[in-house]
Structure 1
Amino acid sequence: MIRKLYALTLLCLIFVSYTTKAQGKLIFEKETHDFGTVAEGTQATYVFRVKNVGKDPVVIPAVQASCGCTTPTWTKEPILPGKIGMIKAVYNTTGRPGPFHKSITVSSNNSEEPTHVLYIKGEVGPKDLKTAYTPEQKALSPRLAVGSTSHNFGKLEKGQKAVAKFKIKNTGRQPLIIQGVKSACNCITYRTSVSELKAGEVATLELTYVPAVLKEQKEIVTVLSNDIVVPSLKLTLKADVVEGQAPKNMLREGAQPTPFR
């Protein structure tokens, strides 16, 4: 009986030892981010990076913010050993003047700490605030670079969808996120080939233009990002818009237009 009990105890110890060594372990690059003072109306965004230094994949099933004003998104696929995951926090400053300090709870199968709390803080100033960043903050910022700042479609039919593709690159040190585009005509939408660009990564920004006004058009498109040095980059779309030469149901949509000969 004693021999069987000893054998069972030994097996349990071996199992516990194996599972403990086999589990993953997350190390966060940074636990608190201070935005400083930001203008009201800004979507204050920061991406926390986390590395799995364990021997097994780590899964993050849930990330919970302390208030509805903060929206978290995170790496859904397992973070493999030696790989890096992301937790992005977006704080909506609209209607929230004054200081803020919010927590974000990360749940995972991290072997040593199944729940980990991150923090974002700062102060929301006036809408027309001119934010001053330190040289260190600028050096760490994502940076949006683009190969060309304009695209000429040539002749387009009114109401026809046309797509302009721009090569963009993150020349900064933190992940770059395109947060939206603005135009006076409200006739331009966008998509990117990746949701966020790592440092040094190149991606494609597609601008879809649906002209609604005839004659020569020049649309200025403002691309918004989390680049704190140049948070809004201006691109130009040009086209000579003419009346359609075929019934509307015959127009091709979703493809590059063929210039009229």
Structure 2
Amino acid sequence: MIRHFALAFSVAACLASTTVVAADWTATAFPIKTHDFGTVAVAAKTEFVFPVVNTMSSTMHIQTVRASCGCTTPIVQNQYIAPGQTGSILARFNTDTFKGKKGATLTVVIDQPFYSEVRLRVDGYIRSDMVFFPGAIEFGRSNQGEAVSKSTKVLYAGRSDWQIVDVRSNKPWLMPAVKETVREGGRVNYELTVDLREDAPTGFFQDEVVVVTNDRSMPNVPLRVSGQVESALSISPQAVALGSLKPGEGITRKLVLMGQKPFQIESITAENWDVKYEATSDLKKVHIVNPTFTYTGQNAGPQKVAFEIKTAGDDSVTAKGVLTADVRGQ
């Protein structure tokens, strides 16, 4: 009798412990559980990514995600998430088929490492009187150092005195401008242009510009802007480790430089380092160089500095890498 009671108690304690672990796990796995899209226009490309963090020692498997409303489409971007990795669930607001105040609960069903159901929430207001066409500004791939412009139309039907008073960007290298093209009664059209400046950083970006109107109740309407800025010159490897060395000691490393069009190397520089390499006048898309780096600074110990490679000519471009070393004292 006592033995059976002890066994039952042990099983119950184990189940209770598992439940607590599962509850703690899902709390850390979903650091963001709600998102408000705010006020958006008809046909605007409106999406939000919920991160999913696997802090457990076993692989996480997202079995499915269901939405309580057709106004939102959930997309599992990573069904299996390895320990220590981060996956995501994309919530797409269906602004082309729904209008007005909308919201949805997204129920995420996880069957590994513990069975759990986690609820996420999205809300927003899709205004029926304002349309972006197309619904986002997508630059696609562009080269760093080249200015690119993309535009969309803003179509409005309603008040005759409606107008766009400003367009704001939180990135200095995304420059929006707007021009009124049609005003007939209650119909107003604008052309909204966004310039991607030459100094845009390399890599993928996804941001937004905010269209500010003279509506008192909901003046701000976001427009999604995305693209991929690629460097006109790439370095491999981009991080160069020289190891341990003495001041005045030169260390040689091989670098592969790749350009989108033929180029000539003008200089390789790094602060507090003397860099020597065999110069060539050849114009080609790929250069293999073996620069020798000699420390000329005064401080011993770990060093980390950017090195810069510049090409020659009127269309000169630069690329940067990272140089690390441990400089021994004299």
TM-score normalised per structure 2:
0.37
Greater RCO (CA < 8 Å, at least 6 residues apart): 1
TM-score normalised per structure 1:
0.45
